[in-house]
Structure 1
Amino acid sequence: MPDDMLNAMAKPTVRVDGAAKVTGVACFPSDEPVENPAYAYLVTSTVARAEITSFDLAAATAVPGVLDILTHENVGRDIKPNRGFGMSANTTTLEGTRVWHQGQTVAVVIAETFEAARDAAARVVVHYETQEPSAGFGSPGAHEEPATPMFGPLPQKGDFDAAFAAAPVRVEAEYETPTQHHNAIELFTTTCFWEGDTLTVYEPSQYIYGSRAALAEQFEMAQGNVRYVSRFIGGGFGSKGPSARTGWIALAAKRLGRPVKLVTSRQQGFTTETYRAETRQTIKLGATRDGRLTGLRHEGWELTSRPSGYNVAGVGATATMYACDNIQTAVNVVHADRNTPGFMRAPPEVPYMFALESAMDELAFALKMDPIELRRINDTQVDPAHGHPYSSRSLMQCYDQAAERFGWSERNPEPRSMSDGDWLVGYGCATATYPANVGPASIRLTLSKAGTVIAELAGHELGTGAYTVVAITVARQLGLEVADVTVHMGDSTLPPVALAGGSNNAATISNVSAIGCESVRRRLAEAAVADMASPFGGKDAAVLRLEGGNLVGPGNLTEPLVQSIERVGGTLTVEADYVPEGLPPEVMDALRQGQAVMLPGHGRQDATTAAFGAHLVEIRVNRHTREIRVPRIVSAFAAGTIINPMAARSQYLGGAIWGVSSALHEATEIDRRSARYVNHDLGEYLVPVNADIPSIEIIMVPETDTIVNPLGIKGIGEVGIVGMNAAVANAVFHATGQRIRKLPIRLEKLL
């Protein structure tokens, strides 16, 4: 793409779907109208480890309006188990008598009204033969084993043991991060109905082709007979994927012969869906006295369910962060009587970069070195784990701009040396990083003789501005206004798009949009040069471009688009595929079959691609009460081409706020006797409010990357949260002299 087009795209644009959302016109899945729906309510287990011996349904079936109650006894073998993330075995629900964790779905009540279904569900009596559960790390019966990494082999390089033994300066520490739950504003919801052999599902999904494939597999039916609709998602963050609930609601609708609607409760969302698993980690850093890393060892332990091997293995991120010749990593999973975890915003990086960036701060303190300078000394333009150059890496530019804006030079390096009345003041920093992933996709564009365009693709709008990203890209590429472009997404009848995860969404849908637009331009240009009566007759089609509603050529030759389109029949429809460089062409077939296909940031042989950033944080701790405040944050990011700075700033702000939440507020508390979540609602699951986040300044560092993908786009949805928990922890240490290595940091840990 030409530089002037990149600059033109970097223009703040109001969201094209904004008015629909704020006026209630936008249809989220639970809003989709269906005729005469029945309502479902889940019955969940009250124990964490057991076998179900029987049900007493008499009181439940006596509730007026109850239509059906699904249990393992009447439907357990009617559909195949949900495969979840597909990487290993998963916990079951109604397929048998096994209870894997507290809050597991064990029955589904269907009734004429939501109230009747909820009332009846409360009256279902489940009899169990219980066993003593294991709640997690350190619990009797918890089973540990080496992990099978989800994202490929773990980095190993050089001879760490020898390097660490010889290092004149060494840091060795243990870190812990807690269980955290997504708690998106939109609850988990499913509506299903059948028309003959065709099943329609309204459900929030971050990969509708994948969700469709998973459901078709459960019912052993053709994928083409399943339609998934997810036009808008009220927050996903990794949670809106294939779910066990979907199959049972689809089965209930089939048994009743009418639509069935389910909206889970907030409490049920904690146990029937996924979450961020807690971790324990050890880090060893060896360095020279001038701060150069000579050895890095990072080992993690991650909690998972009994049957699942799910893990995020975030050492793959930490091993690529800084120059080091000797790297050793390992990851283990610990099986307990808990529900299976899953992806949550920056799944590997949030917990694992907390440990690395905290350890780097500890190393800086041991060296009596400024922590930003330590990172500068170990900055690298070559991925140390994979040996590839970075396509671009503007980390230190981020630190420099953030430090100048923040006033980092005023920092007294001694802990507990800065104060303001009763408040101890601390400055902390940490690095943010996230791989620049990208996926395959298809698009259909229809250009009308009025000069308007319809763009159709099965993309996903999680609240991040995906509709607007497509509209901006198409408008700029075709020389139109954003208002001239109508975008349809979120329907499995549209051309496929890779899952919206791993911050690939903007890069994927923008690049496929641009390829589709080039097909439109080429078709119009070829028709124009073939017509000797046109201004471009006999000219070179390759030099014609679309600009300002015209077909434009050398010498200021122009033709209104309304005339150019007549030459190809009055309307023009094109379909185009985008296969990222480094993936084989056959990935398009896999994508159409619902397989999760993506090119990871380290998946190319010529370069590693990633976005980078720097967080600088001011913390204030009351010297008497130990109350913690975050009055000021400056975060700078470099992520290639920014399609819409207005939406980008919003994403960065959201990530930074969630990072503060990860550091100071969020933790799902577990009763270790019963393996039960005890704060499973927004009344007791702590998140920050406006008063907790007075000032966040976002700096977008310009960066041009001609290697990462044709449009130079790196994802931004997840990089904003990475490292913030460590920056806060490092600032707390600077303010108080107390190093807190277990999140969240609350005042009781500072007393």
Structure 2
Amino acid sequence: VTYGDMDKVDKPKFGNSGATSIGPLHDRTIFHDGQIVALAVAETFEAAEEAARLIRAEYEEEKPTATFDSPGTATIPAAGKSPLFKEDVKAGDFDAAYADAAVKIDQRYSTPTQHHNPIELFSTTAFWEGDQLTVHEPSQNVTGWKVELARQLKIDPAKVRIVSPFIGGAFGSKGPMTPRTAIVAVAAKRLGRPVRCVASRMQAFGTQTYRAETRHRIRIGAGKDGRITAFAHEGWEVTSRPDAYVVGGTSATGRMYDYGSVLTHVSLVQADRNTPGYMRSPPETPYVYALENAMDEMAVALGMDPVEFRRINEPKTEPIGKKPFSSRSLIQCYDQAAEAFGWADRDPKVGAMRDGDWLVGMGCATAIYPTAVAPCAARVRLTVDGDVRLQCGSHEIGTGVRTVAGQMASERLGVSIDKISVEMGDSGLPPAPVSGGSISTASVCSAVLMACDAIRTKLYAAATAEGGPLASSHNEELELAGGKIVAKSGASAKVGDVLKAMQVGAIEEYAEFAPKGATPEALKKLYAGTPEFHGGEQDEDSVKYAFGAEFVEVRINRYTREVRVPRIVGAFAAGRIMNTRTARSQLMGGMIWGIGQALHEATEVDRRYARYVNRDLQDYLVPVNADIKDLQVILVPEVDHAVNPAGVKGLGELGNVGTAAAVASAVYHATGKRIRDLPIRIEQLLV
């Protein structure tokens, strides 16, 4: 399959369900290194590889622009380029407040390009049965992909099925559909055979999305008492030529503390690169790193304890729109984490703490992530035998959403968890939003709760109806427990007997959840694969965020400058915790990711050719077991009924937000060297 074979297929679209508007085989234009130029198909993997090696392509060479400061880049304002980043936030008169501030800083920070590298490689398997297309591909968005693939192939979405029951790691990389999927579908159609394409790890660097490099300028002004009066955050992000991908983390950093005045601006720098995409906590990871590093510098400039500095700048309302927080337990997180970590034993003097040849440093940082929710549908069926089947087109990406969805059904229907089967990861199931933005638990559980409560209502009505087994208890409070409907008086009836009285073998309910503030078109958009997100700073009544506090100890060898992280303590408040085991696992994984961000991960870009150099796990560094020591996760109790019916705040992307800044803070405390550019490497500490 080469250029010309895709002429009857529409080009991919950027946004919603599409990763990029670059259609590799739709014209002769090469937008970036690693772009697909052909697909070779053969009976065996070895034959396909050999065929691919025999392909020769001729190019007209032009000098590419690689990244920041490369000749030929174009810088444009980011506001309004994405539905998730509509404007640069501001409040008050920053210029005047900053000019009058008694203590101020003006610093610049940067984060590198990073690639996802999940254990499971990126693969597509497509086959046709008549005019029905089935695609097996790891996906965080089966409903959206079904609609987008049908659009590209110009067929009815009902003729497309996307199957992805389990995913071996995603972190955003399998959220938007790449152009590869349509190419493989076309090849399968032409051959009349199933076709499977597996991108190698090296190929994935150029065909999938990634976290783009960012730069930041932060200015903070405060009085001598430590109260912030002025805050400005300017950010620059690299993107591709055709697609204005923006993360715009100033929406979070501009609402973190009680600033007095706020000024923000985000710019996009267009270069000859593949289009970036979502990577675990896309806006917060780079932007909060810059903010929290600056907060640590400001605390030093003021001569204040970093925890106390944050405490006195804790806001009563968010500083942009003055709306209340639905809940905000950040100070409780700091209190519990500081006590568990032993922050009181920290010597505030830089370089004062040592253990033999090791310099010891301690640092802290705040984690923040918006609490969002989206429309979702679910089907629940309860049988006369007490078995429950739960169906929802969400995705198990390793977060445990199958488990918590089953738990919600177990709780609402009074059925043991081992009696519940959960089906997910199929576009033929009731539609669910993309599994991104930490919305899955809240969205799915809200829909499951609605379906289960509809079943409860029918069961209660049947049980207490005239002639029903609990007719005498029609005015009593009822509950489902142990497969029975139990009245407050103690009278009970088996659910199976109630269903028999209804003369049915099962009762099934289909629920469509739409969050508070949803538009009249919200459910229609869900089925179209473009669901609305609600929450964070978008709602009119309050702003909704989850928070955390992370404390890190580092040890740096006085001679070699090797950096070790022997322990991290993180305390997090995220509303109702559906499952403590999966919640701890998510947060622990996030902190490990944060260590990698701080000390290891960076995709090196050859500025001459705009080419990724370290395109494998030999040279792209990630933490290994030997790098990870003691991790402690504290779940801070929090009740928030405003976020969604389930009272759940997403936490899958919260754990890694503050880690890198806490490591940088600890490195400064140990050495006196302020590292503002990630990752922190030995060579930076030797200078």
TM-score, structure 2 as length reference: 0.98
Deviation at 1:582, TM superposition (A): 1.4
Alignment of 1:24-43 (within 5 A): none
2:462/2:468 contact within 8 Å kept: no
**Cα distance in 1 for residues equivalent to 2:456 and 2:6:** 55
Superposed CA deviations along residues 557-592 of structure 1, whole A, max 9, x for unmatched, are 100111112123121111111111111243111101
1:633 aligns with 2:568: yes
1:642 aligns with 2:599: no
Determine helix, strand or coil for the equivalent of 2:203: helix
Superposed CA deviations along residues 210-263 of structure 1, whole A, max 9, x for unmatched, are 111110110111111111111111111111021100000000011011111111
Superposed CA deviations along residues 4-62 of structure 1, whole A, max 9, x for unmatched, are xxxxxxxxxxxxxxxxxxxxxxxxxxxxxxxxxxxxxxxxxxxxxxxxxxxxxxxxxxx
Gaps of 5+ in 2: none
Of 576, 582, 588, 2:523 maps to 588
1:530/1:538 contact within 8 Å kept: no
1:396 aligns with 2:326: no
1:466 aligns with 2:397: no
Alignment of 1:253-292 (within 5 A): 253-292=188-227
Of 670, 680, 684, 2:615 maps to 680
Of 37, 42, 58, 1:106 maps to 37
**Cα distance in 1 for residues equivalent to 2:343 and 2:598:** 21
Determine helix, strand or coil for the equivalent of 1:99: coil
**Cα distance in 2 for residues equivalent to 1:330 and 1:633:** 33
Letter in 2 for 1:345: R
Q: Which residue of 2 aligns with 1:193?
A: 127
1:286/1:293 contact within 8 Å kept: yes
1:221 aligns with 2:155: yes
Letter in 2 for 1:142: T
Determine helix, strand or coil for the equivalent of 1:106: coil
Q: Which moved more, 1:497-506 or 1:139-148?
A: 139-148
Q: Which residue of 1 aligns with 2:76?
A: 145
1:89/1:309 contact within 8 Å kept: no
Alignment of 1:480-559 (within 5 A): 480-537=415-472, 539-540=474-475, 543-559=477-493
Q: Which moved more, 1:335-344 or 1:543-552?
A: 543-552
Letter in 2 for 1:202: H
**Cα distance in 2 for residues equivalent to 1:604 and 1:564:** 42
Deviation at 1:359, TM superposition (A): 0.3
Deviation at 1:88, TM superposition (A): 10
Superposed CA deviations along residues 379-409 of structure 1, whole A, max 9, x for unmatched, are 1231112321111100010111010011101
Superposed CA deviations along residues 177-209 of structure 1, whole A, max 9, x for unmatched, are 000000011111111111121111111111111
Gaps of 5+ in 1: 1-69
Determine helix, strand or coil for the equivalent of 1:284: strand
Of 311, 324, 329, 2:259 maps to 324
**Cα distance in 2 for residues equivalent to 1:102 and 1:513:** 45
2:473/2:487 contact within 8 Å kept: no
Q: Which residue of 2 aligns with 1:80?
A: 10
Task: Supply the RMSD in Å over aligned alpha carbons.
Answer: 1.2
Letter in 1 for 2:572: F
2:600/2:623 contact within 8 Å kept: yes
Deviation at 1:740, TM superposition (A): 0.4
Deviation at 1:544, TM superposition (A): 2.1
**Cα distance in 1 for residues equivalent to 2:297 and 2:285:** 18
Superposed CA deviations along residues 444-497 of structure 1, whole A, max 9, x for unmatched, are 111111011000110110011111111111001111111010001111111111
Of 160, 168, 173, 1:239 maps to 173
Q: Which moved more, 1:303-312 or 1:526-535?
A: 526-535
Superposed CA deviations along residues 108-142 of structure 1, whole A, max 9, x for unmatched, are 01111111111111121111111111111011111
Deviation at 1:594, TM superposition (A): 0.9
Deviation at 1:418, TM superposition (A): 1.0
**Cα distance in 2 for residues equivalent to 1:504 and 1:381:** 26
2:522/2:531 contact within 8 Å kept: no
Letter in 1 for 2:491: L
1:616/1:727 contact within 8 Å kept: yes
Q: Which residue of 2 aligns with 1:563?
A: 497
Determine helix, strand or coil for the equivalent of 2:535: coil
Determine helix, strand or coil for the equivalent of 1:741: coil
Letter in 2 for 1:77: D
Deviation at 1:89, TM superposition (A): 6.8
1:95 aligns with 2:19: no
**Cα distance in 2 for residues equivalent to 1:386 and 1:492:** 39
1:88/1:310 contact within 8 Å kept: no
Q: Which residue of 1 aligns with 2:541?
A: 606
Equivalent pairs, count: 680
2:79/2:88 contact within 8 Å kept: no
Deviation at 1:90, TM superposition (A): 2.8
Alignment of 1:55-454 (within 5 A): 70-73=1-4, 75-86=5-16, 90-149=21-80, 150=82, 151=84, 152-240=86-174, 241-454=176-389
**Cα distance in 2 for residues equivalent to 1:348 and 1:134:** 24
**Cα distance in 2 for residues equivalent to 1:336 and 1:330:** 20
Letter in 1 for 2:353: M
**Cα distance in 1 for residues equivalent to 2:520 and 2:492:** 37
Deviation at 1:595, TM superposition (A): 1.0
Superposed CA deviations along residues 607-658 of structure 1, whole A, max 9, x for unmatched, are 1111100000001111110000001110000001101101111000100000
